């Protein structure tokens, strides 16, 4: 009997465990497996295999039962996920429905989740901009959160490393605030986006409109072909999963690469309950999992644990990992675990029309989505009545529209002969928000989910800084649109809850000081040296750039460090 | 109140005025519906209406493309209960006023719905759903206003042909 137990425990022991298989977990898995560690990858949802499990990927519009519209009943039963722009018939199967994993909104928060192998990497908007020292130095310069324990130079080689493998399309723009990377050819701005860029440049030379950088194979290299991926076909149906592997997802890229090493064991349907801490050893020794099919509780063991459950679920796991040594959650000596959660302010957009350049149109679809305006507010010094600033997307398009008035043969004729309209232009803000102690997630003391894990309470909100920034964005864009001769300018400031940006960050932030942060400069727990957090939970501040590329770089960098520490016998 | 009860009650209330009334025994719609009660006769009427909205010419008309079934399906699954009630109420009023055998007369009647709130509410939903179905139909997307799954390279500055 005793022997059986030992055998069983041995069978459940690996060199490393990665919790989560999304963008950051996929990277952790790939790096660990490539470096020879037997790695268990735990995924709470089902398996989604590249191509095979993309049921809608080649469907034509008329093949969708409701032409891609979600039925009223589904929307009524899922008020949260229904707000997400990509929740339609073609991708609904990759989203978590509201009832599947409830949480408590102490303040309104739209928590958008993808529980499957690949996580939200199947669904993301694929925007990949590097951070710069204007971002990493932000908290220290402007006196909020805590100082980042790293600078751009620490991360730059790792950005390059992940970019080469993932495949990032972009131009070398030479902007210190948005450093260039290892780029595949960028997607072009269209003629009106270019016109706007020039119009802005004339009056505000410090404001740049560049091609958005994105994780698409505009021109694959050998390494991408080796992954089984080919050139992006500009379908822009990415949320369905791409049969070409045209964009970066864990499913197309890191997970199969990790599997190929023979070192990965992928275990879907495994909700992590907690990380097991051994007081004698002063280390984490494993992970407790609930099998979602059998509800069985199973412990797995490893010397090294990477937590990549996505920002909020990573907080949930750490908070629920209680022991005598850590009664308030693993590694939470500081008491800041779950706190200083922030997000991106996406609550303003602006639209207009342009009646110039009507001799031209654009053809095809742009995977990058158009232009990107890096942050220019308060960049070199504080100059407004709010802290930090915003980046913005900018896009122009011209489509053929049919006159839908009338009926009978006239209507039919009009419908079948759509005519080019004027140019439609639009922009959305991506504002940096300031992490605050009050922006927090915590565990409910009594309510539990289907797996016996406490429900998460989320209390994250906008503040006055966000309101001022939003006003500034609208004023600035209105002015630049007016200068460009755009007409019918329509600001849209309808409120949206935090979370819908799907850029929630923080809770287990990095910092120099164990008294005020959870992780050190290697994304390693100050207090538990064999636990690393390399997803959004580790973020000290939010900056304005889409964060995923930074998580990829963190994961690769931390694995490299962890393995060198293991070799030295420090882990 | 559970959902099923709620739906039932909606039909008793809405049903008093509606489609449900005289047509119970002459067979139902040819597609499975969860909420709307549509008889074969209603369906026939909506099909004729679809053909007046988008008539058959050298290309198929609304009825040939089953746009009326698409409308019913979308109203049944995708419209709110409020819009479903409007659709049903307006339909019952309007169908008594139309003589679909005379398409000229019907076109004139439909063009003059401005002041008839209920009838207009029905027809607005009918028309917008029928047009949606038409533009997203296999026939139109393959033969007329062509949809390409793979659109080819992106070109951001194409000279418009005169």
The minimum CA-CA distance between A388 and chain B, rounded to whole Å, is 33
CA distance linking residue A97 with residue B132, whole number of Å: 27
Round the average pLDDT of chain A to a whole number and report it: 97
Residue range A194-202: mean pLDDT, rounded: 98
> With an 8 Å Cβ cutoff, are B103 and A408 in contact?
yes
Choose among B78, B110, B135: nearest Cβ to A66: B78
pLDDT tens per residue, range A348-404: 999 999 999 999 999 999 999 999 999 999 999 999 999 999 999 999 999 999 999
> Residue range B96-119: average pLDDT?
92
| Residue B95 tokens, joined | 């169908």
- Mean pLDDT on B117-128: 97
Write out pLDDT tens, residues A212-266: 999 999 999 999 999 999 999 999 999 999 999 999 999 999 999 999 999 999 9
Q: Is the pLDDT of residue B21 over 50?
A: no
State pLDDT tens for residues A23-61: 999 999 999 999 999 999 999 999 999 999 999 999 999
pLDDT band of B2, cuts 50, 70, 90:
very low
Q: A489 vs chain B: nearest CA distance in angstroms?
A: 23
Q: How far is A83 from chain B (nearest CA, A)?
A: 16
Residue A4's pLDDT is 63
Q: Looking at the DSSP assignment, which residues form a beta bridge with residue A454?
A: A448
- Chain B CB contacts of A234 under 8 Å are 150-154
pLDDT at B157 over 50: yes
Q: Which residues of A275-287 are buried (b: 16+ CB within 10 A; e: fewer)?
A: bbbeeeeebbbbb
Strands A264-267 and A13-19: unpaired
Note the pLDDT of residue A3: 59
**pLDDT at residue B26, rounded to an integer:** 52
**So what's the ipTM on this one?**
0.92
Minimal Cα distance from B83: which residue of A? A72
Q: Tell me if chain A has a CB within 8 Å of the CB of B58.
A: no
How far B141 CA sits from the closest chain A CA (Å)? 8
Instruction: Say yes or no to pLDDT of A174 above 80.
Output: yes
- Asked if the Cβ–Cβ distance from A234 to B152 is below 8 Å, we say yes
- In percent, the amount of chain A with pLDDT more than 90 equals 99
Instruction: Spell out which residues of chain A touch residue B140, defining contact as CB-CB under 8 Å.
Output: 415-416
> Mutate which of B86, B156, B158 to test chain A, going by most A C-beta atoms within 10 A?
B156
Mean pLDDT, to the nearest integer, of A415-436?
Answer: 98
Question: Which pLDDT band, with edges at 50, 70 and 90, does A172 fall under?
Answer: very high
pLDDT digits (tens, 9 = 90+) for B47-71: 999 999 999 999 999 999 999 999 9
Residue A441 clears pLDDT 50, i.e. is over it: yes
Asked whether the beta carbons of residue A361 and residue B53 sit closer than 8 angstroms, the reply is no
Specify whether the CB–CB gap between A394 and A423 falls below 8 A: no
Chain A residues closer than 8 Å to B146 by CB: none
Chosen for mutation from A214, A416, A421 (greatest number of chain B CBs closer than 10 Å) is A416
Please tell me the predicted confidence (pLDDT) of residue B3: 45
Tell me if B107 and A408 make a contact (CB, 8 A cut-off). yes
Give yes or no for B141 touching A (CB within 8 A).
Answer: yes
Confidence of residue A455 (pLDDT cuts 50, 70, 90): very high
Residue B107 sits at the chain A interface (C-beta within 8 Å): yes
What's the pLDDT band for B28 if we cut at 50, 70, 90?
Answer: confident
- For A113-125, letters b (16+ CB in 10 Å) and e give bbbbbbbbbbbbb
Which residues of chain B have a CB within 8 Å of the CB of A71?
77-78
Mean pLDDT computed over A470-481: 98
Pair B17, B92: CB distance under 8 Å = yes
Of the partner residues B53, B54, B158, the one whose CB lies closest to the CB of residue A361:
B158
Which residues in chain A are contacts of B52 at CB distance < 8 A?
A: 407-408
Helix axes A464-483, A191-203, angle to 10 degrees: 100
Shortest distance, CA A224 to any CA of chain B (angstroms): 20
pLDDT tens digits along A517-560 = 999 999 999 999 999 999 999 999 999 999 999 999 999 999 99
Q: What is the b/e burial string over B50-72, where b = at least 16 CB atoms within 10 angstroms of the residue's CB?
A: bbbbbbeeeebbbbebbbbbbbb
- The answer to whether residue B20 scores a pLDDT higher than 70 is no
Closest CA to B153 of A371, A123, A188, A166: A188
Q: Determine how β-strand A270-278 pairs with β-strand A283-291.
A: antiparallel
DSSP assignments along chain B, one per residue: --HHHHHHHHHHHHHHHSTTTTTTTS-B-SS--SS---BHHHHHHHHHHHHHHS--SSS--TTTTTHHHHHHHHHHHHS-HHHHHHHHHHHHHHHHH--TT-HHHHHHHHHT-TT-HHHHHHHHHHHHHHHHHHHTSHHHHHHTS---SS--S-EEEEEPP-
Q: How far is A394 from chain B (nearest CA, A)?
A: 14
CB atoms within 10 A of CB B17: 15
Joined together, the tokens standing for residue A69 give 């519209």
Distance in angstroms (rounded) separating the CA atoms of residues A248 and A214: 9
Say yes or no for a CB contact (<8 Å) between B149 and A235: yes
Mean pLDDT to the nearest integer, A268-278: 98
């Amino acid at each position: 009997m005793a022997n059986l137990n030992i055998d069983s425990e041995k069978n459940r022991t690996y060199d490393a465990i990665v919790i989560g298989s999304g963008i950051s977990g996929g990277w952790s898995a790939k790096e660990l497996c490539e470096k020879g560690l037997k790695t268990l990858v735990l995924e709470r949802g089902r398996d989604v295999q590249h191509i095979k499990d993309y049921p809608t990927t080649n469907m034509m519009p008329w093949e969708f039962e409701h032409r891609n519209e979600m039925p009223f009943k589904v929307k009524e039963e899922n008020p949260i996920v229904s707000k997400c722009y990509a929740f339609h018939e073609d991708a609904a199967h990759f989203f978590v429905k509201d009832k599947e994993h409830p949480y408590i909104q102490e303040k309104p928060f739209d928590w958008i989740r993808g529980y499957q192998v690949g996580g939200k990497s199947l669904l993301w908007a694929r925007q990949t901009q590097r951070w710069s020292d204007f971002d990493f130095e932000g908290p220290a310069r402007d006196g909020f959160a805590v100082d980042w324990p790293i600078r751009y130079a620490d991360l730059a080689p790792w950005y390059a490393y992940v970019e080469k493998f993932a495949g990032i399309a972009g131009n070398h723009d030479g902007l210190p605030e948005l450093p260039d990377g290892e780029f595949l050819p960028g997607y072009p701005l269209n003629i009106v986006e270019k016109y706007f860029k020039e119009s802005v440049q004339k009056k505000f030379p410090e404001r740049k409109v560049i091609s958005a950088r994105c994780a698409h194979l505009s021109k694959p290299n050998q390494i991408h072909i080796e992954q089984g991926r080919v050139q992006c076909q500009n379908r822009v149906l990415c949320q369905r999963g791409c049969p070409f592997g045209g964009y970066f997802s864990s499913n197309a890229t890191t997970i199969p690469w990790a599997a190929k090493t023979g070192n990965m064991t992928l275990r879907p349907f495994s909700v992590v309950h907690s990380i097991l801490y051994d007081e004698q050893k002063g280390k984490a020794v494993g992970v407790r999992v609930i099998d979602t099919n059998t509800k069985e509780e199973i412990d797995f063991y490893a010397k090294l644990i990477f937590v990549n459950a996505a920002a909020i679920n990573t907080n949930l796991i750490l908070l629920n990992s209680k022991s005598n040594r850590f009664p308030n959650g693993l590694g939470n000596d500081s008491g800041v675990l779950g706190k200083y959660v922030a997000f991106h302010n996406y609550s303003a957009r602006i639209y207009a029309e342009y009646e110039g350049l009507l001799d031209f149109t654009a053809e095809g679809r742009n995977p990058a989505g158009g232009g990107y305006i890096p942050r220019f507010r308060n960049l070199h010094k504080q100059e407004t009545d709010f802290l930090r600033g915003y980046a913005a997307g900018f896009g122009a398009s011209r489509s053929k529209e049919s006159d839908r008035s009338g009926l009978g043969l006239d209507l039919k004729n009009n419908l079948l002969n759509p005519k080019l309209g004027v140019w439609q232009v639009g922009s959305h803000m991506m504002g940096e928000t300031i992490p605050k102690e009050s922006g927090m997630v915590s565990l409910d003391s009594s309510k539990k989910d289907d797996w016996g894990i406490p429900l998460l309470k989320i209390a994250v909100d906008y503040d006055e800084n966000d309101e001022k920034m939003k006003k500034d964005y609208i004023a600035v864009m209105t002015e630049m649109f007016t200068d460009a001769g755009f007409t019918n300018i329509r600001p849209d400031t309808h409120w949206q809850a935090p979370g819908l940006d799907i850029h929630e960050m923080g809770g287990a932030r990095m910092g120099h000081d164990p008294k005020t942060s959870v992780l050190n400069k290697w994304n390693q727990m100050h207090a538990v040296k064999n636990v690393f957090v390399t997803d959004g939970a580790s973020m000290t501040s939010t900056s304005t750039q889409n964060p995923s590329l930074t998580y990829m770089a963190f994961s690769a960098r931390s694995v490299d460090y962890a393995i060198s520490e293991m070799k030295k016998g420090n882990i | 109140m559970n959902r099923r009860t709620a739906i039932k009650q909606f039909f008793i209330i809405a049903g008093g005025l509606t489609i449900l009334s005289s047509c119970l025994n002459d067979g139902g719609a040819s597609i499975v519906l969860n909420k709307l009660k549509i008889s074969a006769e209603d369906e026939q009427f909506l099909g004729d209406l679809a053909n007046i909205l988008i008539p058959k010419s050298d290309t198929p008309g609304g009825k040939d493309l089953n746009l009326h079934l698409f409308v019913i399906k979308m109203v049944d699954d995708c419209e709110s209960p409020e819009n479903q009630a409007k659709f049903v109420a307006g339909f019952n009023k309007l169908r008594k006023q139309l003589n679909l055998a005379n398409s000229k007369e019907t076109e004139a009647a439909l063009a003059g719905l401005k002041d008839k709130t209920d009838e207009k509410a029905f027809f607005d939903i009918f028309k917008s759903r029928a047009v949606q179905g038409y533009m997203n139909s296999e026939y139109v997307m393959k033969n007329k206003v062509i949809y390409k799954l793979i659109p080819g390279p992106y070109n951001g500055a194409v000279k418009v042909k005169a």
